[in-house]
Every structure is written in C-alpha cells, then in structure tokens.
Structure 1
Amino acid sequence: MSEAHITAGIYRHYKGQRYQVLYCARHSETEEWQVVYRCLYGEFSMWVRPFTLFTQQVRLENGEMVPRFALEIATEFTTASSNRV
C-alpha cells in the first residue's frame, strides 16, 4: 500500500465506544500503515491499529456487516496520512 487515506475525526467502534483518529503512521519494520487514535473515555489512552484492520467490516451476531469504526464527526484534517513533518 503506497499511502493510507483516512479522515481524521471522531469514530464510533461497532461495540459503541468513541475514539478520535489523529493520523496514520508507518510501521518502521514492515512499512505497513497504522491508524493512531485515542479513546474518548476512561484514561484517554493512545492506540495503534493496522489500517487494514481499522477500516475493515465486521460481522455482527445477527449476520449484518458493519464497519469496525464508523466516522461520526470529521475534523479539520481531511486525510490523516497527508500530514508532513
């Protein structure tokens, strides 16, 4: 994957909790794109998840397919991986 595109903002996990996507980063060994995000509950801990897993569909118990994380509110950044240092 040459570049990962994701909208920065507030996402809802399919189990109900909300998270803030900050940006994408590349793994130093595999160069796999990762989504960097934080919980919007509890201790507001930071997490990293492979882009492919963050954006995948999951099957609910009733068989319905839904996004693992669904965008609720976009922030000012349109693509998280376009941030340059």
Structure 2
Amino acid sequence: MDAPRPGVYRHFKGNLYRLITVATHTETLEPMAVYQALYGERGYWVRPLAIWTETVERGGLTLQRFAYVGEDEPSCGEAPPPDRTDEPRR
C-alpha cells in the first residue's frame, strides 16, 4: 500500500485533520497514520493506515474515510461546522 501524502484531509463526517506522517508500530510493524484534529483542542491521534485509507458506506454512497483536501489548512470560512461525533475517544 502506498502511503498517503501529508496534508489536510476531510473525514467523511466533515471534520478536518492534518496527516503528519505514517509511522510503524513497534511490535506489529503495522503502518500507522499519525494525525492532528484541526478543530477543538487539536489533539494528536494514531490510527492503523489500513483504516485511514479504507472506504465507508454512508447514505447509500461509498466514501473515502479520509479524503485529501490539500497541503494547507483551509481558512475558517471554508471549514465545516464542528461535528464531534467522529472524534476518537480518549
């Protein structure tokens, strides 16, 4: 699997995240997406790359879980309203 490029991605539920890098899990050697929420407390998260790049079904449509937006964070006028439903649990 080719690693996605760093940059800003939109989660299928609407929130924006910055993919920082792809790291390797120390025990399993599984590739992991390292990313930051671009809303709220702007927390940092790690998720298996296979999940980052998968597709999801929503409203009868097949969507990318995270869709590439660009290299830079959009201005506040371009960002969607906050939707905390997709924020990972702590």
- Scaled by the length of structure 1, what TM-score is found? 0.80
**Among residues 71, 74, 83, which one is paired with 2:71 in the alignment?**
74
Deviation at 1:74, TM superposition (A): 3.0
- The residue correspondences of 1:1-85 to structure 2 (distance < 5 A) are 4-60=2-58, 62-74=59-71
Q: Which has the higher contact order (CA 8 A, sep 6+)?
A: 1
- Aligned pairs, how many? 72
**Aligned AA (2:66):** F
The 4+ residue runs of structure 1 with deviation greater than 4 A are none
Task: Give the 3-state SS of the residue equivalent to 1:38 in structure 2.
Answer: strand
Identity of matched residues, %: 40
Deviation at 1:43, TM superposition (A): 0.6
- Scaled by the length of structure 2, what TM-score is found? 0.76
- Structure 2: segments with no counterpart, 5+ residues: 73-90
Task: Give the 3-state SS of the residue equivalent to 1:43 in structure 2.
Answer: coil
- Structure 1: segments with no counterpart, 5+ residues: 76-85
